[in-house]
Structure 1
Amino acid sequence: MLAAFSITPVGAGEDVGAHVAAAVRVIRDSGLPHRTAASFTEIEGDWDEVMAVIKAATDAVMQTAGRASIIIKADLRPGHTDTLNTKIQSVERHLSE
């Protein structure tokens, strides 16, 4: 499973960096392959692992924010691994043709 998700603290003001950092710390500590960008984090693993990390990251935000909005997009493709990288490699290969 490859999931792209965003956890947004609600009502925490304009500077949410500390809240987001708490979530990213949980994601990094998970040991699952991941990539954090400006608006979303992508994470790869099996369903239960990925959802557990998203929940734990949300819990970390909720400890200080009190409210959060979550967006999750998931790509389920049994038998495939490293899709975090292979999807990008496929696009790059097509661009270089």
Structure 2
Amino acid sequence: MLIAFTLTPLGVGESFPEHIADAVRIIRESGLPTRSDAMHTTIEGEWDEVMDVVKRATEAVAAKAPRVQLVLQADLWPGMERPLDGKVELMERHLPGYGTP
């Protein structure tokens, strides 16, 4: 399964990298396959292990901010191997000649 999520500390101003640094550390140290971009982080794994990482990351942000907004999206695809990369590879097969960015 894949979980894509965004954590936003509220009440701390417009820039807040120091408020999410501990969350990023928790995500990276989880050992699960992850990918982050400007909008969210995606984690691949089993339900309980992924949700545990999301919970601990959220709690880390909450420890430094008066309020935290969590946006979460899940993709449950039984039988899909390596969904973090596999879904992209599947799509790329339908775009011959364009290559991977």
TM-score normalized by the length of structure 1: 0.93
**C-alpha displacement of 1:88:** 0.8
Question: Which has the larger helix fraction?
Answer: 1
Name the counterpart of 1:8. 8
Write the distance in 2 (CA, Å) between the matches of 1:34 and 1:91.
19
- The amino acid of 2:93's aligned partner reads R
Further displaced range: 32-41 or 11-20:
11-20
**C-alpha displacement of 1:62:** 0.6
**C-alpha displacement of 1:24:** 0.9
Give the 5 Å matches for 1:46-85.
46-85=46-85
Structure 1 runs of 4+ off > 6 angstroms?
Answer: none
Write the distance in 2 (CA, Å) between the matches of 1:72 and 1:21.
19
C-alpha RMSD of the superposition: 1.1
- The amino acid of 1:71's aligned partner reads V
Query: What percent identity do the matched residue pairs reach?
Result: 52
**C-alpha displacement of 1:16:** 1.0
Give the 5 Å matches for 1:20-39.
20-39=20-39
Q: Which runs of 5+ in 2 are unaligned?
A: none
Write the distance in 2 (CA, Å) between the matches of 1:33 and 1:63.
25
| Structure 1 residues 45-97: Cα deviation after superposition (integer angstroms, max 9, x where no partner) | 11000100000000110111121000100011223231000111112221126
Write the distance in 2 (CA, Å) between the matches of 1:59 and 1:24.
12
TM-score normalized by the length of structure 2: 0.90
3-state SS of 1:51 partner: helix
3-state SS of 2:18 partner: helix
